[in-house]
Chains A and B, each alone.
Chain A
Amino acid sequence: MAYSEKVMDHFANPRNVGEIPDADGVGEVGNSKCGDIMRMYIKVEGNVIVDCKFKTFGCGAAIATSSMATELIKGKTIDEALKLTNKAVMEALDGLPPVKVHCSVLAEQAIKAALSDYYTRQGIDPTPIVGVIKECDHEHGCGCESCS
Chain B
Amino acid sequence: MQIYADNAATTALSPKVLEAMTPYLTEIYGNPSSLYRIGSAAKVAVEESRQTIANLIGAKNANEIYFTSGGSEADNWAIKGVCRMLKAKGKNHIITSKFEHHAVLHTCEALTKEGFEVTYLDVYEDGLVRPEDVKNAIRENTALVTIMYANNEIGTIQPIAEIGKICREAGVLFHTDAVQAMCNVPINVEQECIDLMSLTAHKFHGPKGCGALYVRRGVRIQNLIDGGAQERSRRAGTENVAGIVGLAKAMELGISTMEERNTRLTKMRDRLIEGLLNIERSRLNGSQTHRLPGNVNMCFEGIEGESLLLRLDLAGVSASSGSACTSGSLDPSHVLLALGLPHEIAHGSLRLSFSDDNTEEDIDYLLEVVPKIVEYLRSFSPLWDKIISE
Could you list which residues of chain A lie within 8 angstroms of chain B, going by C-beta atoms? 1, 8, 11-12, 14, 17-18, 28, 32-39, 54-63, 99-100, 138, 142, 144
Please, how many angstroms separate the alpha-carbon atoms of A1 and B328 in the complex? Answer: 9
B383 and A11 within 8 A (CB): no
Q: Kindly state the separation between the CA atoms of A9 and B50 in the bound complex, as whole angstroms.
A: 50
Query: B382 near A56 (CB under 8 angstroms)?
Result: yes
Contact B307 A59 (CB under 8 A): yes
Q: How far is the CA of A62 from the CA of B314 in the complex (A)?
A: 17
Structural contact, A37 and B383, CB atoms closer than 8 A = yes
CB contacts (< 8 Å) of B323 on chain A: these are 35, 59
| Prevailing SS type, chain A contact patch | mixed
Whether A99 and B380, one on each chain, are in contact in the complex, defined by CB atoms closer than 8 angstroms, is no
CB distance B381 to A59 under 8 Å? no
For A55, give its contact among B324, B344, B380 (CB under 8 Å).
B380
The answer to whether B361 has its CB under 8 Å from any CB of chain A is: no
CA distance A32 to B381 in the complex (A): 11
Question: A132 → chain B, closest Cβ, in Å?
Answer: 21
* Chain B residues with CB below 8 A from A138, complex form: 330
Answer whether residue B325 sits at the interface, using C-beta atoms and an 8 A cutoff. Answer: yes
* B302 touching A35, Cβ below 8 Å: no
Q: A32-B344, A55-B382 are in contact. List 15 more A-B contacts (CB 8 A).
A: A11-B310, A14-B380, A35-B323, A35-B324, A35-B325, A35-B330, A35-B332, A37-B382, A55-B380, A57-B303, A57-B381, A60-B310, A63-B307, A99-B328, A142-B330
Give every chain B residue within 8 A of A32 (Cβ-Cβ).
343-344, 347, 383, 386
Across-interface contacts of B344 in A (CB, < 8 A): 32-33, 35
Chain A contacts for B305, CB-based, 8 A: 59
Tell me which residues across on chain A come within 8 A of B100, comparing CB atoms.
none
With a cutoff of 8 Å between Cβ atoms, the chain B residues found around residue A17 in the complex are: 379-380
**Contact of A62 with B304 in the complex, beta carbons under 8 Å:** yes
Q: Please indicate the chain A residues that have their CB under 8 angstroms from the CB of B379 in the complex.
A: 17
Task: List the A residue with the shortest CB-CB distance to B347.
Answer: A35
Tell me the complex Cα distance, A142–B331, Å: 8
**What 4 A-B pairs have minimum CB-CB distances, sorted nearest first?**
A32-B344, A59-B325, A59-B306, A99-B328
Which residues of chain B have C-beta atoms less than 8 A from A1's C-beta?
Answer: 326, 328
Specify which chain A residues have a CB less than 8 angstroms from the CB of B365 in the assembled complex.
none
Indicate if B385 sits at the interface (CB-CB under 8 A). yes
* B29 CB-CB contact with A under 8 Å: no
9 A-B contacts (beta carbon < 8 Å):
A1-B326, A8-B310, A14-B380, A32-B383, A34-B330, A35-B332, A59-B304, A59-B325, A100-B325
Q: Which of B302-361 contact A (CB under 8 A)?
A: 302-307, 310, 314, 323-326, 328, 330-332, 343-344, 347
Which residues of B37-68 have CB atoms within 8 Å of chain A's CB atoms? Answer: none
Measured CA separation A11–B332 after assembly (Å): 21
B124 CB within 8 Å of chain A: no
In the bound assembly, the distance between CA atoms of A33 and B306 in angstroms comes to: 15
Q: How far is the CA of A17 from the CA of B325 in the complex (A)?
A: 22
